[in-house]
């Protein structure tokens, strides 16, 4: 199985300036929604490339002293909307709908770093220990209809996981036993990402190399 690729932007197509634009839009979308409960419309200045359908996740990390702590992470694996709209939706959802956290406040946002991951279409693999590449791939674990879990490519880097640990944690994220990746009924997909992040709240936006 491969996710739909028709008229979909691939992360390798993105220029640095377009990544900067997406991170700034993500912050504006959250600010507007927290203040007014209104959803930001894509600005007329939106680069044409960002009007192509695309997949993305938005991650919010709260600064606690010198340490960063996850505050929300939501995204979309299917290219059902223009990338700019996908980022707006993901940003608002990460701030207000992540079931692991209470909705953010504007005060919290002022002390948080935003990261936008633009995803490639996902593809199914059959030999995960050989085919999953740490630092390149994110994983999408599917078992039946209800059990699904996604881990972005940066996650195993952040936690210093090897491939087997990455797969086990992906299974746990999907609500499965950690060794469920070895079950032939478990579907495992991989994808790549271009990652753009703030170095500090409202600060410089950089490309994150894994």
* Averaged pLDDT in 10-residue chunks for the chain of 210 residues: 64 97 98 98 96 97 93 96 98 97 95 98 97 98 97 97 98 98 97 98 96
- The answer to the question of residue 169 being in a domain is yes
> How many independent structural domains does the chain possess?
2
Structure tokens at 48: 């044409």
Between CA 179 and CA 70 the distance in angstroms is: 25
The pTM score is: 0.94
Identify whether residues 40 and 57 lie together within a single domain: yes
**Is residue 114 located within the same domain as residue 202?**
yes
Q: Is residue 67 part of a domain?
A: yes
Does residue 3 lie within any of the structural domains? no
Query: How confident is the model at residue 7, as a pLDDT?
Result: 78
Quick one: 171 and 71 in the same domain?
A: no
Together in a domain, 203 and 166 = no
CA 64 to CA 51: how far, in whole Å? 36
Residues 86 and 128 in one domain: no
The answer to whether residues 28 and 99 belong to one domain is: yes
Q: Give phi and psi for 57, each to the nearest 5.
A: -120, 145
Contact 111, 63 (CB under 8 A): yes
Do 32 and 101 fall into the same domain? yes
- Residue-level pLDDT at 6: 52
Together in a domain, 111 and 154: no
Q: Please report the pLDDT score of residue 2 as a whole number.
A: 45
46, 57: one domain: yes
Report the alpha-carbon angle 77-82-86, nearest 5: 50
By residue range, what is the domain housing residue 158?
123-190
Q: How far apart are CA 104 and CA 87, in angstroms?
A: 17
Domain with residue 176: its CATH number is 3.30.1490.150
Residue 164 in any domain: the answer is: yes
Residues 74 and 170 both lie in one domain: no
Domain holding 59: CATH number? 3.30.700.20
């Amino acid at each position: 199985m491969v996710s739909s690729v028709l008229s979909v932007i691939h992360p390798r197509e993105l220029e640095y300036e377009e990544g900067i634009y997406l991170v700034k839009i993500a912050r504006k979308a959250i600010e507007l929604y927290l203040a007014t409960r209104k959803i930001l419309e894509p600005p007329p200045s939106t680069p044409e490339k960002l009007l192509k359908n695309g997949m993305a996740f938005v991650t919010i990390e709260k600064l606690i002293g010198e340490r960063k702590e996850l505050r929300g992470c939501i995204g979309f694996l299917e290219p059902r909307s223009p990338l700019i709209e996908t980022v707006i939706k993901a940003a608002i959802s990460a701030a207000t709908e992540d079931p692991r956290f209470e909705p953010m406040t504007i005060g919290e946002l002022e002390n948080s770093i935003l990261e936008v991951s633009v995803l490639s279409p996902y593809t199914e693999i059959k030999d995960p220990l050989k085919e999953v590449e740490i630092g390149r791939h994110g994983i999408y674990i599917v078992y039946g209809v209800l059990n699904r879990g996604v881990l972005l490519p940066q996650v195993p880097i952040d936690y210093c996981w090897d491939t087997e640990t990455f797969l086990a944690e992906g299974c746990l994220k999907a609500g499965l036993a950690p060794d469920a990746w070895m079950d032939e009924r478990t579907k495992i997909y991989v994808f790549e990402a271009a990652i753009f992040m703030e170095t500090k709240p409202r600060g410089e936006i950089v490309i994150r190399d894994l």
